[in-house]
Structure 1
Amino acid sequence: MVRGEVKAQSTFTRFSAMKREKKRKPDDRRPFLAHHRDLAGVDLRCSDVLRDIRKMARQERTPELRMARELKRSTEACRSIEDYEKLNRIEEGSYGVVYRARDKKSGEVVAVKKLKRETEKGGGFPMISLREINILLSIRHPSIVDTKEVVMGSTMDSIFIVMEFMENDLKRAMEASKQPFSESETKQLMLQLLEGVMYLHKNWIIHRDLKTSNLLLNNSGELKICDFGLARYYESPLKLYTPWVVTLWYRAPELLLGAKEYSSAIDMWSVGCIFAELLTKEPLFKERNETAQINSIFQTLGVPDENTWPDYKNLPGAKLVFTKQKFHLLRDKFPPSVLSEYGYDLLSKLLDYDPQKRITAEDALRHPWFSDTSPACNDMGLYFSCRNLRRRGFYLFY
């Protein structure tokens, strides 16, 4: 090859490269690329987490604008855990350990959750923790615990979620109380719970582990949903998901019978179980395994049939032999002295067997029970001041 041919080939190569560069356009389908420059000054330890969050965002197909905001908040949040002073350990759950801490700069007391690092088989950050970070950084509501930032420890194994601090969780508050909540107090708690659940469902999120220990309660009576380790986005049409979600006592019957196609209705069953527990201080259905749990439900609500639950016979677990009890005995557990007619009607709709008929959070908030002005349902004189909490036997835990 002569020199002139080499020069011509070199010129042609440069021209082709320029032409390809000119044709290259930003990918509008991935808005977080527009924020790529924001990553320039971020600690390299954060970059792996953010990359995995972006990957998670694509898999979950979350709304683009929300994910753009989520990524921006993530990049701004990568401070060090050394910026916080650990005060004491609060509790340990399946997916992390929670501490009470103080921000050294602002002096604010916060809750810090250290995520348990159990890597996936193919490497990378665990999917459950990624999903939790992704959801927590993309939602904000008065009835959902506020996530302030994600901070890093000295190694990649040390990743922390910083959240607002709440004095109690609902389960321990009930255990410490000498008496159950009154119907009026239950109404106030249920309003806050349903508002938070409605917000999640309108944003296509199912919590999948609603229970009293995952509801935080401060000394002003404010209730907030927490622990999104099992939460995920869902779609329409529905996909197949694992039925092994939700703590057993709060698990919907369709999950107990092996359903893999489900949506927000499983959260509403859990809300119904929480509603009942607020009035009695005891879980409504409290068994040790799935078979005993579904039997306990059938013994209280009766065995479903084609009228109460048309799809019941199509579920994998429906072939098993259960109790033959056919009568609805829920009212016996909640007589009028405990729960008014309107309240009982709402509870029955939350515990409807058929997920298609089970009341939604939005419709539940419109239920007449919340506008009932009878004295038993409208006595708001006590409520949750610190003095009244102590008078009723609540402990201020921290």
Structure 2
Amino acid sequence: GQSSPTACSAGSYQADSGQTSCDAADAGYYVSSAAQTSQTACPIGTFSTSTGSVSCTDAPAGYHVSSTGQSSPTACSAGSYQASSGQRSCDAADAGYYVSGTAQTTQTACGLGTYQANTGQSSCDDADAGYYVATTAQTSQTPCAGGTYQAITGQTSCNEADAGYYVATTAQTSQTPCAEGTYQTITGQTSCNEADAGYYVDQTGQVSQTACAVGTYQANTGQSSCDDADAGYYVATSAQTSQTPCAVGTYQANTGQSSCDDADAGYYVDQMGQSSQTACSAGTYQPNTGQSSCIDASAGSYVPTKAQTTQTLCAAGTYQANTGQSSCEVADAGYYVPVEGQTGQTACPAGTQQLNTGQATCEEEVGGGNLLLMFGFVVLIIGAIVLLNSRKSQPPSAEAGDGQEIEEEVPELAMKGEDD
């Protein structure tokens, strides 16, 4: 027989006496030296896959051993990692990071456009539409500021609102066109500008305002159209905020005009802002255009109808003492007017007469002393003839002498009649 026992070798042990062999250490256990009566469980963080081990193996990076006596390590699950060996647990991925698979030794930062608010995650979240993530390893997304928007998820930046558009609030997924009556010349704006007075914007999404054309105006801001100038008014230049009344002497019958029309000759406009001209009334006239009143016909002249450009001289035989008349007065009987354009009538001079009205001359008067003279002359001639005839019946001697005497008397009587 044996004179002495044999010690159990490392990796084996024997708890009982009188045994013929030793027991190999179980998997998950070890016996580090000879002649041991027990095996030792592998501590946390280590393992032993085979029997008869003299030591345990550290859990590799990416793995862990959470309890003693383990025969194998456990891989870190997705969302966790372990950078060191011999560890009892894995580390959860930080917020802003992720671990997509098992048995990982490192965590990965969330990429641009993504974020992760929680720990221990296996993936990151895309930034929502209206939000962005500009750098890696972010725990939150950032809303697009006013004036910017983002229609797509997972983006690193936001888009500025275009000119003609705006974004009024944060975290918006679209831009809004400027409404009619407003515009925006600059990108990235939170509001639009109202069209100025004198301007308009007639469509949405516009980058500029339009000046009101000549003949139109706009007194208010933020308008989509301009107002036509009223009849009686005008707008001479563009971008005006008010209309101008036509001056006296001018008028405008139509709307939306850039100027007024001068009153025609024979017409007038006596107030501002008129849509029509007025004809000069009978008795008045106007030779010029653009006048605010008419001219009264002068004394000695007349204007018979309205809308006349000249006055007419009263004809010979007529007159007019007053101004602003539509006719002339006929000269009375016993009076005359010798030339045109007279302001009064003239009485016929002594020895003349005018039995008719409206005459330019007077006639020589017939009657009174002239009639008596003519009657006496006729009687004288008749008496002389009778006397001559009576003498013809007397003797020649007496007839001859007396006849000569009678012939001499007749001329005397005739001359006397003319003198009378």
Q: TM-score, normalization: structure 1?
A: 0.20
Which of 1 and 2 has greater Rg? Answer: 2
Q: Which has the higher helix share?
A: 1
Q: TM-score, normalization: structure 2?
A: 0.19
Highest RCO, 1 vs 2 (Cα 8 Å, sep ≥ 6) = 1
